[in-house]
Homo-oligomer: A and B are copies of this chain.
Amino acid sequence: MDVGVIGLGRMGRGMAQSLVRAGHRVRVWNRTPSAADGLDGVTLVPTAAEAFAGDAAITMLSDDAALRSVIVEGGLLDSGTRPGLHLSMSTISVALAQELAAIHGRAGVPYIAAPVFGRPDVAQNGALNIVVAGDAAVIEVARPLLDAMGAKTWPFGTEPHRANAVKLAGNFMLVAAIEAMGEAAAFAEGHGVAGADLLDLLTNTLFASPVYKGYGASIAAGRYEPPGFGLRLGLKDIGLALSASAEVGVPMPFAGVLRDNLLDAVSHGDGDKDLAALALVSARRSGR
């Protein structure tokens, strides 16, 4: 397919590479063009409008503001060269997801939400888990793209914003897992047990899953740089989860704790570290 990719952060780059590898013709655009350096097999286009065209356009931007700026304020939906469908893959608020579905509907551009789970290296390998929601027929059209980027696609019905809610729920669980490990490690250290030994046991038995193994190893090693998933980005996602939970009247006490501890981390200069650095908060608060 002829596809445009808007947003070449580490995730977007990896996805573009997977698309090229699968034989798609890929145009790319990024606010800072140098982000495309070293991306083989793609065509760098000078305007977002030229990427928002063809059989499909994919957006993979860092937050609500970036996506809103390009799509809504950039007026792409009113431009002449609109894509056959828009695959919206950024991690954004449920509220913006609902708004985007509405304005695409009015503009007559098929719109699917398809946020993903997986780190940049997983994106590069085309092995993401993709959460998809939207009109079933449109999803079928986008299938070759989804298959190129993902190991598996998980359908969540026809309302696009639900995929975004699922993504936020998953990221909430991920940050909660890190916090639980951080508290457990501080507790263990308080009793003379190396946190690394505790996490070695637990992440190889009851909690032997990718999230626990990956972040557990980082905490055990005290290795927080370079960031795979930046702590400040995690704070943003917890903020989105809290907003979306308030909209539907769902108390989330764990999310409240996460917000505070992530703020504590940022206020202590760890915002640019990996999310695993959340564990430093528990250690610091216990006087270590």
Contacts and interface: CB of A to CB of B under 8 A. Distances in A.
B209 A156 contact: no
B161 A191 contact: yes
Contact of A264 (B247, B269, B285): B285
Interface string A188-232: 101111000110011001111111100000000000000000000
A158 to B, nearest CB: 10
A251 interface: yes
Nearest to A271: B249
Contacts of A184: 169-170, 172-173
A52 to B, nearest CB: 27
B191 A131 contact: no
A contact residues, range: 35 or more
Contacts of A177: 177, 180, 207
Contacts of A202: 169-170, 173
B209 A188 contact: no
Q: Which 10 A-B pairs have the closest CB atoms?
A: A256-B256, A190-B248, A267-B287, A209-B209, A251-B260, A165-B191, A249-B267, A176-B180, A250-B286, A169-B184
Interface of A: 94, 117, 129, 131, 152, 154, 156-157, 159, 161-162, 165-166, 168-170, 172-174, 176-177, 179-181, 183-188, 190-193, 197-198, 201-202, 205-212, 235, 239, 241-242, 244-257, 259-261, 263-264, 266-269, 282, 285-287
Given A172-B187, A235-B246, A242-B242, 7 more contacts: A129-B206, A165-B187, A170-B202, A180-B254, A190-B250, A205-B210, A207-B210
